[in-house]
Amino acid sequence: MDLASLYQHRFTEADRLGKVRIWQVLVRIFFQPLIGMNKVVLDLACGYGEFINAVAAKKKYAVDLNPDAAKFLNADVSLYLTSATIIPVEDRSIDVVFTSNFLEHLKSKDECNAVFAEVRRILKPGGKFVIMGPNIRYLADRYWDFYDHHLPLSHLSLEEGLIQAGYEIDRMIPKFLPYTAKTSLPKHPLLVSAYLRLPFAWRFIGRQFLLVARRC
């Protein structure tokens, strides 16, 4: 699949800049405290780098198959244009692996298990695997609107998959963020910040799960 062409069609430059602003708030308010400071962080399927550019870390890695990713990553991010099942970093060298809206693009549960195994290989003992993605339980009517969606997952099926792959679940939020940034919902940084500070609102607006798994 030609990822560069697909995402150029899907996201305008205005969309990308809007996501950058949203992710700056998401990282500052929610993900940075969750991850901690002075960590080695790898962004799996980094897209245009909205997360990895915003996070503070001792060392930053990014993995993606789209060559356009290189245009948008900051100079302190090391990019690997490779499959998520062949990540060229040493065993037990990463504190946190983060991925957003990636697992649904995998072709099968076997491929998903291969990703889980590779992430487990590179994580330090006790390292975190932070996963965000569309929850099929709350998106049955819209999940298949994207051509590159293949693997439907709910928060519960993902939990089972991670446990059988050798992880422990630290945190599970069935409804966290809205399905996509391309909605009519307000995106001003102050409103995003307010949303993050009001978890009761997530139950009404959230359509993406967030799971934090720990390498046993």
Distances (CA, A) of 128 to 13, 40, 62, 78, 93: 32, 11, 16, 20, 12
Q: Is the pLDDT of residue 154 over 90?
A: yes
Give mean pLDDT, residues 152-156. 97
Q: What is the pLDDT of residues 71-92, one digit of tens each?
A: 999 999 999 999 999 999 999 9
Domain ranges of the chain: 3-215
Residue 11 has pLDDT above 90, yes or no: no
Please report how the helices 109-122 and 155-164 are oriented relative to each other, as an axis angle in degrees rounded to 10: 60
Of 3.40.640.10, 3.40.50.150, 1.10.10.10, 3.90.850.10, the CATH number of 3-215 is 3.40.50.150
User: In this model, does residue 196 exceed pLDDT 80?
Assistant: yes
Strands of the 40-44 sheet, one edge to the other: 77-81, 59-64, 40-44, 94-100, 123-134, 208-215, 167-173
Residue 79: predicted pLDDT? 98
Predicted local distance difference test score (pLDDT) of residue 146: 83
pTM of the model: 0.91
The pLDDT, as a whole number, for residue 145 is: 86
